């Protein structure tokens, strides 16, 4: 009974804390914005539409986890804001049942775990692409991606189910959570495991980038090496480009999640120095998922070739801080030259690939059809946009 009274008093204190409710409403708005931003990425993924089908599917799944996570966190924070903004004469009315607590919290935790695992799966997929460099990029099979997606879902759900073993279903809860006093140590181990998975995936991507960059330099300087066919050299180049494009996903995810994954176990360890009310507020404040929800899609949008091209074109009208005057020395980013003439699309495609290694093309970029929307599911575009992407952001060698 004393424990129940303490929880009722903690809930009443939270309801009386305006700062806590402000944090909840700000996070709810941020998650709603993040949901829309992440969803918008499905329609503007120009650079990522050239990925191998496995990489595209895994990247789509990563963003599906992010969208679901933003939506579930928005619902959770909105519910908590409504609950603690309502006036109850009995402070125990602020408490929620264990069943409702799990129902509100488990979906967001599953999405959080799933997105962390999706980063690791992306790293593993790129390792496979690096090892099978002669045949992987030319294949169109998506079996590996589907196996990894199923593994992400199964492991993420299993982690939450593991937290629910010995869960006190008869207790009332102040905040929506899947952990309890009996599973506090298990929760800390789970969070630290996620942090280890995240850092391990980051190290894998750094290693992949350095290895593929060295390999790309080697085959350019040594054309008589074992990997000397145009297709093999193209696959090495594409693997390096894919790793460099995925890397920001990993870095931003680590920056936003590491503090959360570290702060929560530390907060649990220091619980004896904090009141229950301070403990709950600390958890909400140091959950930085809302920063990821806004910064990640914003960063991806700013990296799109048409956005970079537009910014560079606008910069030509602001020489040395002037307004309305175009820079005299400004040159167009993509120069128009006479067309190549009638040719098969496949021949043109390999001529362009050959130019990546043997020098620039002497002719223009003819129009051909490819997939642009939804990472390569709908929408035609022309080779000019593709060339613009290479001109604006060339891959360092």
**271, 10 contact by CB (below 8 A):** no
Tokens at residue 1, please? 């009974």
Find out whether 257 and 288 touch, Cβ atoms under 8 Å: yes
Which residue range is the domain that position 62 belongs to?
A: 2-303
Distance (Å, whole) CA 144 – CA 121: 10
CB atoms inside a 10 Å sphere around CB 328: 7
**Backbone φ and ψ of 262, nearest 5°:** -85, -40
With 70 as the cut, is the pLDDT of residue 384 above it? Answer: no
Are residues 87 and 177 both part of a single domain? yes
Contact predicate 351/230, CB 8 Å: no
Residue 114: pLDDT band (50, 70, 90) is: very high
From residue 144, give the alpha-carbon distance in Å to each of 96, 122, 139, 149, 259.
42, 11, 12, 9, 32
Instruction: Give me the percent of the chain exceeding a pLDDT of 70.
Output: 69
- 207-218 pLDDT tens trace: 988 888 888 777
Number of domains in the chain: 2
Indicate if 125 and 253 belong to the same structural domain: yes
Which of 125, 352, 136, 347 lies closest to 236, judged by CA? 136
Instruction: Identify the CATH number of the domain in which residue 256 sits.
Output: 1.20.1070.10
Same domain, 96 and 141: yes
Residues 83 and 167 placed together within one structural domain of the fold: yes
Residue 35 has pLDDT above 50, yes or no: yes
Q: What is the pLDDT of residue 158?
A: 92
Does residue 117 lie within any of the structural domains? Answer: yes
| 233 shares a domain with 115 | yes
Query: What's 381's DSSP letter?
Result: -
Same domain for 9 and 37, yes or no, is yes
Is 117 or 292 the better-scoring residue by pLDDT?
117
- What is the C-alpha to C-alpha distance for residues 152 and 174, in angstroms, rounded to an integer? 30
Does residue 397 lie within any of the structural domains? no
**Do 346 and 200 belong together in one domain?**
no
Q: How confident is the model at residue 238 (pLDDT cuts 50, 70, 90)?
A: confident
Query: Could you tell me which residues are beta bridge partners of residue 373?
Result: 378
Torsion, CA 392, CA 314, CA 311, CA 332, rounded to 10: -10
Contact 348, 370 (CB under 8 A): no
Q: Is 144 exposed, middle or buried (0-12, 13-18, 19+ CB in 10 A)?
A: buried
Max mean pLDDT among 73-82, 229-238, 255-264, 367-376 falls in 73-82
Write out the two tokens for 44: 């503007």
> Where among 303, 332, 350 does a domain terminate?
303
pLDDT, tens digit, 9 for 90 and up, residues 148-168: 999 999 999 998 998 888 888
Contact between residue 212 and residue 136 where contact means Cβ atoms under 8 Å apart: no
Q: Do residues 292 and 331 both lie within one domain?
A: no
Domain annotation covers residue 318: no
DSSP letter at 178 equals S
């Amino acid at each position: 009974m004393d424990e129940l009274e303490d929880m009722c008093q903690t809930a009443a204190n939270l309801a009386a804390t305006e700062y806590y409710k402000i944090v909840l409403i700000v996070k709810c708005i941020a998650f709603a914005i993040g949901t829309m931003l992440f969803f918008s990425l499905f329609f503007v993924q120009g650079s990522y539409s050239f990925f191998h089908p496995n990489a595209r599917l895994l990247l789509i799944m990563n963003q599906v986890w992010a969208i679901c996570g933003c939506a579930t966190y928005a619902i959770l924070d909105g519910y908590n804001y409504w609950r603690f903004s309502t006036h109850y004469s009995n402070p125990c009315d602020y408490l929620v049942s264990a069943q409702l607590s799990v129902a509100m919290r488990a979906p967001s935790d599953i999405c959080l775990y799933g997105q962390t695992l999706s980063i690791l799966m992306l790293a593993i997929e790129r390792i496979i692409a690096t090892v099978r460099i002669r045949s992987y990029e030319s294949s169109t099979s998506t079996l590996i991606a589907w196996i990894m997606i199923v593994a992400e879902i199964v492991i993420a759900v299993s982690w939450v189910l593991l937290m629910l073993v010995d869960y006190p279903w008869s207790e009332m809860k102040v905040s929506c959570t899947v952990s309890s006093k009996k599973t506090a140590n298990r929760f800390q181990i789970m969070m630290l495991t996620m942090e280890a998975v995240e850092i391990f995936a980051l190290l894998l991507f750094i290693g992949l980038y350095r290895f593929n960059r060295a390999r790309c330099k080697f085959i350019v300087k040594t054309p008589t090496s074992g990997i000397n066919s145009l297709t093999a050299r193209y696959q090495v180049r594409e693997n390096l480009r894919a790793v460099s494009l995925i890397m920001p996903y990993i870095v931003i995810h680590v920056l936003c999640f590491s503090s959360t994954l570290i702060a929560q176990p530390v907060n649990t360890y220091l619980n004896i120095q904090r009141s229950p009310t301070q403990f709950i507020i600390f958890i909400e404040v140091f959950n930085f998922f809302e920063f990821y929800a806004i910064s990640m899609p914003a960063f991806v949008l700013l990296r799109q070739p048409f956005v970079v091209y537009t910014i560079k074109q606008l910069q030509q009208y602001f020489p040395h801080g002037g307004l309305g005057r175009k820079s005299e020395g400004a040159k167009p980013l993509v120069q128009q030259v006479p067309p190549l003439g009638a040719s098969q699309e496949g021949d043109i495609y390999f001529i362009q690939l050959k130019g990546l290694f043997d020098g620039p093309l002497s002719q223009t970029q003819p129009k051909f059809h490819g997939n642009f929307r939804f990472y390569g599911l709908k929408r035609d575009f022309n080779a000019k946009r593709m060339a613009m992407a290479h001109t604006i952001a060339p891959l360092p060698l």
